[in-house]
Amino acid sequence: MNFDLTDEHQMLQDSLRRFLKYSCNSKTRNEALSSETGVTSDLWHAMAEMGVIGAFFTEEQGGFGGTGADIALVFEELGRANVVSPFLDSALLSGRVLAAAGELDRVADLIGGDLQLALAHGEPTSRYDLNYVRTASVNGILNGRKAVVVNALASDILIVSARTSGKVYDEAGISLYFVEKDAAGLNIQDYALIAGGHAAEVTLDNVQGSLIGEEGKGFALLKEAYAIATVAQCAETLGEMTAATELTQEYLVTRQQFGRPIATFQALAHRMSDMLIEMEQARSAVIRAAGYFESDERTRDINIHAAKNLMGRAGRLIAEESIQMHGGIAMTQEYELAHIAKRITMADHRFGDTDYHLEKFMALTQS
């Protein structure tokens, strides 16, 4: 048992943290936020060059990492610096689907920073159910609607799930397709997201797709990719929670009310202590989710569900308490915390929320 970072991880963390501190600030973020697609291509390419995207894939897949620990490390740093960039959806989630399906040329492009992807899987009434697919494929002709597809507009090509057999909640019979951005019958209604970045409603009206991997076997690829994406999301949120807590600590020490720093008001001091305790718990949950990612599936899933549930609860505490203890200033868009709090809260809406993962955890541990 050993909780120290390896030398390689320590180096990666140091260089990432230094780079992000230098290159990410509210100015670059606001540029990303107000850009047409939510993607800052300079940052994307610079990070790709640093090998950040390569860290998401194993050597066999053309990368030089790919473990839970590699990925958690990168995303925690992205979260800590409050980076708005679609690494999670475009590179990790979509990329791991392609890597598992053996599409290694595309993965190489991705690692090089030359490809933007989007995974169009969720549907208007699927909520967080991964097995819900109503979009239908008949001989590669797709019909249906995909909901809140992150990074759709900026993507070079879409990955779309569709049902080739079975009923709407069946795991078997889900297939994956490439869909060209200029395909006839494809409509992308783009919108900005509260926490930054863009997503879209994607409608498919007799759209030609090209099969990825084996027909009807897409669910396993999706499940695996969503699992690692959930770990990444937890790690990113941990970074954001760290940033929020540090800002709040600093504010309590600096801000004067009634003639003294508000950190000296015991009610606030005790609540800050509770936040710090939950931060340690959150860090442990992420360490477990990342560290057990290579274990057997049950151990892996138990720890991922546990982590996402705990992050949902601790994240809410940290976001809400940070705002409350700051007071009015935290309500303003220009103050860093507002942005961080939105990212922490919106993380609960990705890859299953607090209750969704609690139920999955219950199913695995109480049977």
Cα distances (angstroms) measured from residue 276 to each of 79, 273, 282, 303 = 17, 5, 10, 22
Residue 257 near other proteins by CB under 8 A? yes
Asked if residue 170 lies in contact with residue 131, where contact means CB atoms within 8 angstroms, the answer is yes
Which residues, other chains included, contact 314 with Cβ-Cβ below 8 Å and sequence gap of 6+?
A: 241, 278, 279, 281, 282, 285
- Given candidates 232, 282, 317, 318, which one binds other proteins under the rule CB under 8 A? 282
- Rounded Cα gap, residues 200 and 339, in angstroms: 21
Among 206, 270, 294, 320, binds a copy of itself (CB under 8 A): 270
Task: Kindly tell me which residue out of 267, 328, 334, 366 binds a copy of itself, with binding defined by CB under 8 A.
Answer: 267
Nearer residue to other proteins within complex by CB, 237 or 303? 303
Which of 266, 333, 366, 367: binder of a copy of itself (CB under 8 A)? 266
Q: Which stretch binds other proteins (CB under 8 A): 45-53, 176-184, 224-232, 284-292?
A: 284-292
Under rule CB under 8 A, residue 187 binds other proteins: no
CA-to-CA distance for 67 and 126, rounded, in angstroms? 29
Segment 74 to 103, residues that bind other proteins, using CB under 8 A: none
Stretch that binds a copy of itself, among 70-78, 148-156, 183-191, 262-270 (CB under 8 A): 262-270
For other proteins, which is the closer residue by CB, 107 or 242? 242
Strands 141-150 and 157-163: unpaired
Measured from the CB atom, the residue of 18 and 270 that comes closer to a copy of itself is 270
Determine the size of the site formed for other proteins (CB under 8 A): 91
For 304, the token pair is: 């991922």
Angle between the 297-326 and 354-365 helix axes, to the nearest 10 degrees? 150
d(CA 227, CA 219): 12
Question: Is position 265 an interface residue for a copy of itself (rule: CB under 8 A)?
Answer: yes
Residue 366 as a binder of a copy of itself (CB under 8 A): the answer is no
| Binding of a copy of itself by 269 (CB under 8 A) | yes
Count Cβ neighbours within 10 Å for each residue of 280-308 and write b for 16 or more, e otherwise.
eebbebbbbbbbbbeeeeeebbbbbbbbb
331 is a contact residue toward other proteins (CB under 8 A): yes
Q: In the complex, which residues of this chain contact a copy of itself (CB under 8 A)?
A: 265-267, 269-270
